[in-house]
Amino acid sequence: MTINRRIVGASVRLSKEFPTGTGLRSNIMPFLNQGMVIPIISNSFRIEQIFREESGVSGDTTETPQPANNEQTIDEQLTNEWADLIDYPMPDKLNLARVAQYFLVEQKDSLRARVKYLEFLKTLLLTIAQDEENKNLIDGLKMQVQEKRFSEIVRQLDYPKFPENAEDTLRLLARFPLPIYITTSYYNFLERALQAEGKTPHTMVCFWSGVGSNEKYEDWPDPEPTVKTPVVYHLYGLEDYPQTLVLSEDDFMDFLVNVLQDTNKQNPIIPLKLRQALVESPLLLLGYQLRDWDFRVLFRFILKCQKALSPRGMVIQLKADRKRIGEAEKSIRYLSDYFDINKFDVEWTETEKFIRKLWDEWNKYRQGQS
pLDDT in the model for residue 340: 72
Tell whether 16 is covered by a domain: no
Written as tens digits, the pLDDT of the chain (370 aa) is 444 433 232 222 222 333 344 455 558 888 899 999 999 999 999 999 999 864 333 333 434 434 443 478 899 999 999 999 999 999 999 999 999 999 999 999 999 999 999 999 999 999 988 766 678 888 888 889 899 999 999 999 999 988 888 899 999 999 999 999 999 999 999 999 999 999 999 999 999 988 777 777 778 888 899 999 999 999 999 999 999 999 999 999 999 999 999 988 888 999 999 999 998 888 899 998 878 899 999 988 998 887 766 676 766 665 555 455 555 566 667 666 777 776 777 777 888 999 999 999 999 998 876 5
Tell whether 184 is covered by a domain: yes
Q: What digits encode the pLDDT tens for the residues 154-206?
A: 999 999 988 888 899 999 999 999 999 999 999 999 999 999 999 999 999 99
Determine the Cα–Cα distance for residues 280 and 71; give it in Å rounded to an integer.
Answer: 40
DSSP label of 269: S
Tell whether 7 is covered by a domain: no
> Which residues have a Cβ under 8 Å from the Cβ of 211 and sit 6 or more positions away?
243, 244
Whole-prediction pTM: 0.85
Strand partners, 317: 288, 348
Tell whether 9 is covered by a domain: no
pLDDT in the model for residue 331: 61
Tell whether 121 is covered by a domain: yes
DSSP string, 104-141: HHHHT-HHHHHHHHHHHHHHHHHHHHTTSS-HHHHHHH
Determine the Cα–Cα distance for residues 165 and 60; give it in Å rounded to an integer.
Answer: 9
Q: How many domains does the chain have?
A: 1
Planar angle of CA 266, 270, 274, nearest 5 degrees: 100
Q: What digits encode the pLDDT tens for the residues 72-127?
A: 889 999 999 999 999 999 999 999 999 999 999 999 999 999 999 999 999 999 99
Determine which helix (DSSP H) or strand (DSSP E) holds 183, and give its type and residue range.
strand 180-183
Task: Considering only CA atoms, give the Rg of the chain.
Answer: 20
Domain limits at 240? Answer: 24-369
Tell whether 71 is covered by a domain: yes
Q: How many CA atoms lie within 13 A of 114 on its CB side?
A: 18
Determine the Cα–Cα distance for residues 27 and 239; give it in Å rounded to an integer.
Answer: 36
Which amino acid, one-letter code, is at 276? Q
Tell whether 352 is covered by a domain: yes
Tell whether 196 is covered by a domain: yes
Determine the Cα–Cα distance for residues 117 and 88; give it in Å rounded to an integer.
Answer: 13
